[in-house]
Amino acid sequence: MAKRRKSSRKRKSTIKLPLSVIITLIIIVAIIAGVWAYMHPTEAKYYVQTWTEQYLGWPTRPTQPTQPIPTTEGSDNLAFGIPGPADCIIDREGYALGYIERHEQPAWVIYHMTKAEATTKAASRDDNFREDPEITTGSATLADYRRSGYDRGHLAPAADMSFSIKTMDESFYLSNMSPQLGEFNRGIWKDLEAQVRSFAISEGDIYVATGPIFPSETEPKAIGPNKVTVPKAFYKVIWDRTVPEKMIGFILPHEGSSKSLKSFAVTVDRVEAETGLDFFNVLPEEQQAALEGTLTVSAWQWQ
């Protein structure tokens, strides 16, 4: 009877590390991760938030303000509701904003503008761009925009805030900025800002909501040490409160354009669908539905 041939394969040996070595390796990895997180705080916060939300199902970003909203006495910017959740909400004399730490800019800025304010020039532009001390997590900085190839694009325009020295000055906080291509900021966006001021003068009493539309990618294009997200588009919503009331929305792709502003007009419902925000949500639902679902371009006075 033939002998069974022994297998030439050797059994793989299992390496067993002493517990002390395993603990040492864990400590070394933890130190390296800690140093990296210290050197890259924004990226570390983003990855921790994403991992815990996607894999553990724990919400890490606040869905409501975590502290009382700082409000300027007499301000009515948020009188008709907060458009959406934010990490920090601030209501100033000239405008209110909802700041998103992950993107280092607001998801929304909203302000009330009258004909008197639109035609009052009490302050000239001072270009005093600076960090916002009221953003508890720290706002974007000048270094984020320096040599980035992007303008510090106003959301609440300086020209809309020229009715007082204080409102003009506060419009230059970097919390009121979003990265914008020069041909966009100084072109179609500037034209839309001028048109909105014209609406304030012709209608007499309007509310304006404006902000970026962020890309859907997990890691969108960003600039600067704080990774300020570059938006894919921008929106504006205007509510004319004079009788007969009406609303109009705009969605502008983040690029230069020579098209007519009217070609970018959309319903407010469309803006809400694109942004996930809910504008003027204190209004009765029937009134919201009528105003936000209707668009009559010819009802507005165009420049």
Residue 63 CA to residue 142 CA, distance in Å, equals 28
Strand partners, 106: 99
Question: What's the per-residue H, E or C state across 138-187?
Answer: CCCCHHHHCCCCCEEEECCCHHHHCCCHHHHHHCCEHHHEEEECHHHHHH
- What burial letters (b/e) apply to 233-269, b meaning 16+ CB within 10 Å? bbbbbbbbeeeeebbbbbbbebeebeeebeebbbbbb
- Residues counted in the chain: 303
Residue 51 CA to residue 199 CA, distance in Å, equals 45
3-state SS assignment for residue 17: coil
Alpha-carbon dihedral 215, 216, 222, 227, rounded to 10 degrees: 120
Whether the Cβ atoms of residue 93 and residue 170 lie closer than 8 Å to each other = yes
CA-wise closest residue to 69 among 94, 93, 88:
88
Backbone angles phi, psi at 154, to 5 degrees: -65, 145
Residue 178 CA to residue 152 CA, distance in Å, equals 6
Strands 233-240 and 205-213: antiparallel
User: Which residues are part of the catalytic machinery?
Assistant: 154
